[in-house]
């Protein structure tokens, strides 16, 4: 199994991605990718990164794994966690290490 990398998601920054949710799919926007340095002494590990998503305030998602359709190579099973919402949006993060 090939591990996902930040490059897999770069074409989708600023675009909506579809999540397979019940009772109907929802779309959220991939707002940005945050890269973190590889730990020293671990050259065979992938570059750690996080995906940050935004959604309308009425899109409430649980902290769990969803099937994301990001197009190329997908769908991907990605675990997200909700961050502090803002006045008009909800924010979610997926961390890859």
Write out the residue range of the structural domain in which residue 60 sits. Answer: 6-96
Q: Can you tell me the distance from the alpha carbon of 10 to that of 18, in angstroms, rounded to the nearest whole number?
A: 16
Count: domains in the chain: 1
Identify the CATH number of the domain in which residue 84 sits. Answer: 2.40.10
Q: Can you tell me the distance from the alpha carbon of 27 to that of 70, in angstroms, rounded to the nearest whole number?
A: 10
* pLDDT value at residue 64: 96
Q: Can you tell me the distance from the alpha carbon of 3 to that of 56, in angstroms, rounded to the nearest whole number?
A: 30
pTM given for the model: 0.89
Does residue 46 register a pLDDT over 80? no
Q: What percent of the chain has pLDDT over 90?
A: 70
Residue 1 lies in a domain: no
How far from the centroid of its chain's Cα atoms is residue 61's Cα? 13
Q: Which two tokens stand for residue 70?
A: 């990001």
Residue 16 lies in a domain: yes
Residue 20 lies in a domain: yes
Could you give the C-alpha distances from 23 to 19, 20, 26, 59, in angstroms and in order?
A: 11, 9, 10, 13
Residue 41 lies in a domain: yes
Does residue 95 register a pLDDT over 80? yes
Span 10-38, pLDDT tens digits? 999 999 999 999 999 999 999 999 998 87
Q: What percent of the chain has pLDDT over 70?
A: 89
Instruction: Say which DSSP state 52 is in.
Output: E
């Amino acid at each position: 199994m090939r591990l996902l990398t930040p490059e897999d998601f770069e074409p989708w920054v600023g675009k909506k991605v579809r999540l397979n949710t019940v009772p109907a799919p929802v779309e959220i926007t991939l707002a940005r990718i945050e890269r973190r340095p590889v730990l020293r002494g671990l050259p065979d590990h992938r570059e750690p990164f996080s995906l940050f998503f935004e959604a309308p305030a009425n899109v409430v998602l649980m902290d769990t794994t969803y099937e994301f359709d990001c197009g190329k190579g997908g769908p991907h099973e990605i675990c997200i966690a909700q961050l502090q919402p803002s006045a008009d949006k909800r924010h979610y993060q997926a961390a890859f290490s």
